[in-house]
Chain A
Amino acid sequence: MKSLADLEAIRNRTINKVGLRKEGTEETRIVVGMATCGIAAGARPVMQAFVEELQKRNITNAFVTQTGCIGVCRLEPIVEVYVPGQEKVTYVKMTAEKAAKVVVDHIVNGKVVEEYTIGNAE
């Protein structure tokens, strides 16, 4: 290492990993339903897609976590997005491709992807 830029490069590539350990209330929570029903319906690739997408885009103010059965098993995989100060948004019948779109539209640009939400599925 010969310059401050080298140091900064190491810092940037590691910061996401450590950032996970900082507690903050200003963060968006992406909660994936990971009960038996969710897993059976394919929640795992969905969750992985979210994690991958967040890291690819260097998003540090959102994290992925999981929860148990939300209750509407027929609509699994279900993902709930909690943006601080806003109402919770529930996405249903998620796929890895839909996950990528939710990250771009909702998390990055703040636009809820209406077509995937529970209101539209019913």
Chain B
Amino acid sequence: MNDYAGESLQLNGGYKMELVRSHVLVCGGTGCTSSGSKQIMDEFEVQLKNFDIDKEVKVIQTGCFGLCALGPIVIVYPEGSFYSMVKKEDVAEIVEQHLLKGRIVKRLLYKETVVDENNVKSLNEVDFYKKQHRVALRNCGVINPENIDEYIACDGYKALGKVLTEMTPEQVIQEVKDSGLRGRGGGGFPTGVKWDFARKSVNEQKYVLCNADEGDPGAFMDRSVLEGDPHTVIEAMAIAAYAIGANQGYIYVRAEYPIAVHRLQVAIKQAKEYGLLGKNIFDTGFDFDLEIRLGAGAFVCGEETALMTSIEGHRGEPHPRPPFPAVKGLWEKPTILNNVETYANIPVIFLNGAKEFAKLGTETSKGTKVFALGGKINNTGLVEVPMGTTLREVVYEIGGGIPNGKKFKAAQTGGPSGGCIPAELIDTPIDYDSLIKIGSMMGSGGLIVMDEDTCMVDIAKFFLEFTVDESCGKCVPCRIGTKRLLELLTKITNGTGTLEDIDEMKTLCYTIKGSALCGLGQTAPNPVLSTLRYFRQEYIEHVVDKKCRAGVCKALLTYKIDPEKCKGCTLCARNCPVGAISGKVKEVHTIDTAKCIKCGVCESNCKFGAISK
């Protein structure tokens, strides 16, 4: 048997001890990788050798810690020191001071963990982590995702072992039903019920699929689970296969997630070598094999029927349901499709029991939900909170509030399929049903925060541009309807819209919702409908007053120079890319509004605050 910890393993039962006293965890998630965590890891190896402590200190690459805004992140155990925004030059200092001499480098610690000169808080007491409850992300940032032994050390594959040796498929399904787990991909369909349908479909060949085609702008939950803990998905899919009576699975992941794909490949290879995938798993006669299918990054392929069409090798287009996949799915065989985060919850249900799992959350939404926090928020990153946590807690307590003291205006959940939650509803508990009630939806977990500088009409337009691009074109309501809707929105942001346009938009929205073929089209008008519902006044201002209060819609802006404040320094005139500003030295300047392209360069350059829009 291979030893993935990479340490010398001696045969004849003698397992050679490695004298590791300290672990340096470097985040290898996508966020930190792009801010240079790979170089930092390499530098650690170099410096540890330099100080001759490379044998006793181990550097481990992990998945996402969640605080992406502060990357690259390095955690040193056993002290649990959380270093943020580490630069390559800092590594030598951490190695010499902390790892060699035992003096924590305070200057590099995440400032929230520093209490005073002599005291450092535990990470779990920091605002960002205090209210979080990591279930799906339990191993992210803790284990090395490319080392199956570490996953096993954290009770990995124990749930699969228990399921195969002690439970019948019916009991497995009942346990998932009892846990109250609902699909984390957005719809919130009860997972156990879905599995039950597939179990009851009689066929010798069935399939288990994993939807890792995460496509919402600003969402990176599934990506982080795959990058940080790929084995949990493999284990859960094997459990699902046993429950429904399948022996083949596919993970549909987008090729744009190279790190996730690589770690999945490594994980599948290791699981096969350990006999946790393949024939006769745990000597129970159960076979399960797993393959990866790469998607080319089409948003529509996240829709289940389009995803299956794509796996079959065809162009990713949806088809009408029923028949549902549980009856006729991949290659017309009974199939279940669950999202990455849904699977990540499965092993926990079997390790701790359905009752324990259901303790978190609300009456109808059990467990936790992972959110990718983005937009105008201080702690951009990945958070996992119990269902029913309010939006206020997520934005202000975990997310650290809005930068530059700006006011919270709204949050978008569910990406281009969801809707916005305005400031007056910030105390809404986040769970499936509460969000539907206020016209939004849970979605897969993108949470984009907007402040007073965000124009809600422009936001609706942004999401609609996305769906227009991503519409597969198969059905007319989506292909043409969304395009017409976008044209109407563009008219409004250009200042040529009318009040009739607003009403027409609403009618068009409902037509598309009611007649589009798949989820993409049916939900595409949601951003328009929800902004109309909560920010109608802003639409009316654009149409009637020709005004964009956030100062975003360029067509509705005019830049002016305040003659009182202008000192005639000529800075604006020299920087104007189109030569729209004229004036002599030490005399008041003027802007030719016919030439002005409203780029805002003059405003940001003026040292006297004389230019405004």
| Contact across chains for A65 and B78 when beta carbons are under 8 A apart | yes
Q: Which of A3, A18, A51, A65 contacts B154 (CB 8 A)?
A: A18
Chain A residues contacting B103 (CB-CB under 8 Å) are 67-68
Minimal beta-carbon separation of A47 from chain B (angstroms): 7
Bound: A11/B18 CA distance, A? 16
- State the Cβ distance, B146 to closest chain A Cβ, in Å: 14
| A55 touching B15 in the complex, CB below 8 Å, given contacts A11-B155, A18-B142, A18-B150 | no
With a 10 A CB-CB cut-off, give which of B17, B77, B152, B283 has the most chain A CB atoms: B152
Cβ contact within 8 Å between A7 and B157? yes
B interface footprint on A23-48 (CB within 8 Å = 1, 0 otherwise): 10000000110110000000000011
Q: Does B131 contact A (CB under 8 A)?
A: no
Beta-carbon contact of B161 and A48 below 8 Å: no
Q: A65-B102, A66-B101 known; A55 and B17 CB under 8 Å?
A: yes
Using Cβ atoms and an 8 Å threshold, which residues of chain A touch B158? 4, 7, 11
Choose among A3, A17, A48, A68 the residue that contacts B102 (Cβ–Cβ < 8 A).
Answer: A68
Q: Nearest chain B CB to A34's CB is how many angstroms away?
A: 5
The reply to whether A14 and B5 form a contact with Cβ atoms under 8 Å apart is yes
Determine the distance from Cα of A4 to Cα of B157 in the docked complex, in whole angstroms: 9
Q: Which residue of A lies closest to B80 (CB)?
A: A23
- Report chain A residues within 8 Å CB of B154: 18
Determine if A11 and B153 form an interchain contact, defined as CB atoms under 8 angstroms apart. yes
Q: Which of A43-75 contact B (CB under 8 A)?
A: 47-48, 50-52, 55-56, 63-68
B115 at the interface (CB under 8 A from A): no
B1-41 contacts to A, CB under 8 A, are 1, 5, 15, 17-23, 25
Decide: A17 near B152, CB < 8 A? Known: A4-B282, A63-B78.
Answer: no
Q: What residues of B have a CB within 8 angstroms of the CB of A34 in the complex?
A: 100-102
Report the tally of A-B residue pairs with Cβ distances under 8 A. Answer: 102
Given contacts A1-B276, A7-B158, A51-B21, contact A17 B1 (CB under 8 A): no
Task: Establish whether residues B5 and A17, one from each chain, have CB atoms under 8 Å apart when the complex forms.
Answer: yes
Which residues of chain B in 258-291 are interfacial with respect to chain A, using CB atoms and an 8 Å cutoff?
274-276, 282-283
**Complex interface: chain A residues within 8 A of B102 (CB):** 31-32, 34, 65-68
Residue of A nearest to B124 (CB): A23
- Docked complex Cα distance between A68 and B96 (Å): 11
Contacts of A63 in B (CB 8 A): 21, 78
- Tell me whether B56 is interfacial, beta carbon within 8 Å: yes
Contact A1 B25 (CB under 8 A): no
Q: Which residues of A contact B274 (CB under 8 A)?
A: 1
Within the complex, the shortest CB–CB distance from B315 to chain A, in Å, comes to 41
Partner of A51, one of B5, B56, B77, B124: B56
A108 at the interface (CB under 8 A from B): no
Query: Are A21 and B1 interface neighbours, CB within 8 A?
Result: no
Cβ-neighbour of B56 out of A2, A10, A11, A48 (below 8 A): A48
The answer for the CA separation of A27 and B512 in the assembled complex, in Å, is 60
B19 & A55 in contact (Cβ 8 Å cutoff) = yes
Given contacts A20-B23, A51-B56, contact A3 B283 (CB under 8 A): yes
- Given A21-B25, A51-B20, A68-B102, decide whether A13 and B77 contact each other with a Cβ distance below 8 A: no
Give the residues in chain A near B1, CB-CB below 8 Å: 1
Q: Cα distance A3–B161 when bound, in Å? A: 8
Q: Is the CB of B17 within 8 A of A14?
A: no
Contact between B149 and A2 (Cβ–Cβ < 8 Å)?
Answer: no
- The answer, yes or no, to whether B452 is at the interface (CB within 8 Å) is no
Cα–Cα, bound, A52→B123 (Å): 28
Is the beta-carbon distance between B21 and A11 smaller than 8 angstroms?
no
A48 touching B19, Cβ below 8 Å? yes
Determine if A15 is an interface residue (Cβ-Cβ < 8 Å): yes
Contact indicator A20/B78 (Cβ below 8 Å): yes
A106 to B155, CA, bound (A): 30
Shortest C-beta distance, A18 to chain B (Å), equals: 4
Task: Decide: A56 near B282, CB < 8 A? Known: A1-B274, A35-B101.
Answer: no
| 8 A Cβ contacts from B123-173 to A | 123-124, 142-143, 149-150, 152-155, 157-158, 161, 165
Known contacts A14-B149, A18-B142, A35-B101; is-contact A3 B77 (Cβ 8 Å):
no
A17 lies within 8 A of B19 (CB):
no
A21-B23 in contact (CB<8A): yes
- Report yes or no: A2 in contact with B282, Cβ–Cβ below 8 A: yes
Pair B101/A23 contact, Cβ less than 8 Å: no
A18–B144 Cα distance when bound, in Å, is 9
Question: Is B122 within 8 A of A23, CB to CB?
Answer: yes
A84 to B149 alpha-carbon distance, docked (Å): 30
State A47–B99 Cα separation when bound (angstroms). 13
Residue of A nearest to B7 (CB): A17
CB distance from A97 to the nearest CB of B (A): 16
- Asked if residues B101 and A21 are in contact (CB atoms below 8 Å), the reply is no
Contacts of B23 in A (CB 8 A): 17, 20-21
Q: Kindly supply a per-residue 1/0 record for chain B positions 77-99, scoring 1 wherever the CB is within 8 Å of any chain A CB and 0 otherwise.
A: 11110000000000000000000
Chain A residues within 8 Å of B283, by CB = 2-3
Verify A3–B282 contact, CB threshold 8 A: yes
A64 to B20, CA, bound (A): 10
Among candidates A4, A15, A31, residue contacting B153 with C-beta atoms closer than 8 Å:
A15
Which B-chain residue is minimally distant from A32 (CB atoms)?
B102
Contacts of A66 in B (CB 8 A): 100-102
Cβ-neighbour of A4 out of B19, B56, B75, B165 (below 8 A): B165
With A2-B282, A4-B282, A18-B143 as given contacts, are A47 and B21 in contact (CB-CB < 8 Å)?
yes
B30 to chain A, nearest CB (A): 21
Chain A residues, Cβ within 8 Å of B165:
4
Shortest CB distance A51–B (Å) = 4
Q: Given the complex of chains A and B, what is the CA–CA distance between A56 and B19 in angstroms?
A: 10
CA distance A17 to B275 in the complex (A): 23
Residue of A nearest to B149 (CB): A14
- Further contacts, 13 of them, CB under 8 A, given A3-B283, A22-B142, A31-B102: A3-B282, A4-B161, A10-B152, A10-B153, A11-B158, A13-B149, A18-B142, A21-B23, A23-B122, A23-B124, A34-B101, A48-B21, A68-B103
Interface pairs A-B: 10 shortest CB-CB: A66-B102, A14-B153, A63-B78, A67-B102, A14-B149, A18-B153, A1-B275, A51-B21, A15-B153, A2-B283
9 residue pairs of the A-B complex, CB under 8 angstroms, read A1-B1, A1-B275, A20-B23, A20-B77, A63-B21, A64-B21, A66-B102, A67-B101, A67-B103
Q: Please report B residues at the A interface, Cβ cutoff 8 Å.
A: 1, 5, 15, 17-23, 25, 56, 58, 75, 77-80, 100-103, 122-124, 142-143, 149-150, 152-155, 157-158, 161, 165, 274-276, 282-283
